[in-house]
Structure 1
């Protein structure tokens, strides 16, 4: 599958003929100023929680593409109220089968509120199981022992984990999370966008190498195939 990075925690997965977008925060991100949001095509938009740096462009992209927005009950209802016509509400522990595979909403330890300050439900991550690949999108989270439950149910090929520290795990905890999930390949996210989460790329790569992990730090706009 092709994976395109749009900054912060926003990734577009091309899974067969389906395009699945995670946590779109693009237009306010100075590092992503070269990305044209209106050019992004998405059949599904998955939101891990309600913070602005994960949902800012969801409404616009959903309306541009008539996308199905998948999120917790509170976030799905909030976007319905803003005119997003297609939503699929979920909650932690639930699973839904979609045309590209199954999506299970799993625990994340983090706060969640919507851009207008209203209640954003519980933050979450996703395990996506497709015909050929299974991956874990952690969302914003601390390191949690609940991650050890994931490989008891899924054979995960790679994980997308936050590494920016301050608001989420740092790279040291992310490498432990990779051990918990039993993956050797990690795509880093939630770093560099704001001063609080700036990273030293050489340092985080050294930590990953010491942990025998392949840490991929994508450039904004870059597409890779996994």
Structure 2
């Protein structure tokens, strides 16, 4: 599995021969790319309807858009994109070589157009290369994109325990989501081996001292590797994966 961070919450994820783009928003200071510079993904995954997460979805007309039924309905109505998968919290869908499980995020939602359009519940995704089951599969790998969220006990009680992500991308910018302290706790609760900060330094309210995030992770006792990527930087996990 290969992960590329394009700033803010925008990630390009490759699982074998399948490519996914999460929350496309290229008007951010961490990326040097425009949406037109990005290779067309097979799937676009949307966590929620705020503009800094759906802004560039229409730039990928040939992709299959995944999101809540309300959100993909808006994509169809607003942009004419009819190749969509509407799913909901707790569900898993097969997307090419990947399995995508939707989980709730603690956040607000809604789309600001000429009227307020409901986008359903905000969400995060666990993307795995095998179907998730209660049986631990040490040959599999799973990546959790938390979306915009605050700290929630489901990270400890459900996502970490049953979905068992190996790596996570967590918002750390504070103000609208978790800050470094809560994101550090989330890292520990998820019991991940690898963690990436996201959703920070895009605009003034979410500017943080990013070194604080690693300090907060260490304060929990977690031994997760913290990777602070540059914009458009990639990180690949190669089989065989490290044991959890």
Q: TM-score range by the shorter chain?
A: over 0.9
Root mean square deviation, CA, Å? 1.5
Distance 1:144 1:207 in 2: 17
The 1:165–1:39 alpha-carbon spacing in structure 2 relative to 1, beyond 3 Å, is same
Equivalent residue number for residue 37 of structure 1: 35
After TM superposition, give the deviation of residue 140 of structure 1 in Å: 0.4
Equivalent residue number for residue 3 of structure 1: 3
Equivalent residue number for residue 235 of structure 2: 224
1:136 counterpart = 2:147: no
Find runs of 4+ consecutive structure 1 residues off by over 4 angstroms. Answer: none
SS of alignment partner, residue 72 of structure 2: helix
Of 84, 106, 115, the residue aligned with 2:103 is: 106
Q: Structure 2 regions of 5+ residues with no counterpart?
A: 131-139, 238-244
Using the TM superposition, name which of 195-204 and 164-173 deviates more: 195-204
SS of alignment partner, residue 159 of structure 2: helix
Instruction: Output one character per residue of 1:159-194: Cα deviation in whole Å (capped at 9) or x when no partner.
Output: 111111110011111121122221131111100001
Distance 2:20 2:80 in 1: 20
Instruction: Output one character per residue of 1:69-121: Cα deviation in whole Å (capped at 9) or x when no partner.
Output: 00001110000112112100011112212222211111111001114132111
1:85 counterpart = 2:94: no
Of 167, 172, 184, the residue aligned with 1:158 is: 167
SS of alignment partner, residue 84 of structure 1: coil
- Tell me if the contact between 1:208 and 1:214 (Cα under 8 Å) persists in the aligned partners: no
Distance 1:42 1:200 in 2: 32
Distance 1:215 1:9 in 2: 17
TM-score by length of 2: 0.86
- Tell me if the contact between 2:6 and 2:30 (Cα under 8 Å) persists in the aligned partners: no
> What is the correspondence of 1:161-180 to structure 2 with a 5 Å cutoff?
161-180=170-189
TM-score by length of 1: 0.92
Instruction: Output one character per residue of 1:139-168: Cα deviation in whole Å (capped at 9) or x when no partner.
Output: 000101111211332232111111111100
Distance 2:192 2:182 in 1: 14
Distance 1:120 1:154 in 2: 25
Of 64, 68, 78, the residue aligned with 2:64 is: 68
- Tell me if the contact between 1:175 and 1:213 (Cα under 8 Å) persists in the aligned partners: no
Q: Structure 1 regions of 5+ residues with no counterpart?
A: none
- Tell me if the contact between 1:46 and 1:71 (Cα under 8 Å) persists in the aligned partners: yes
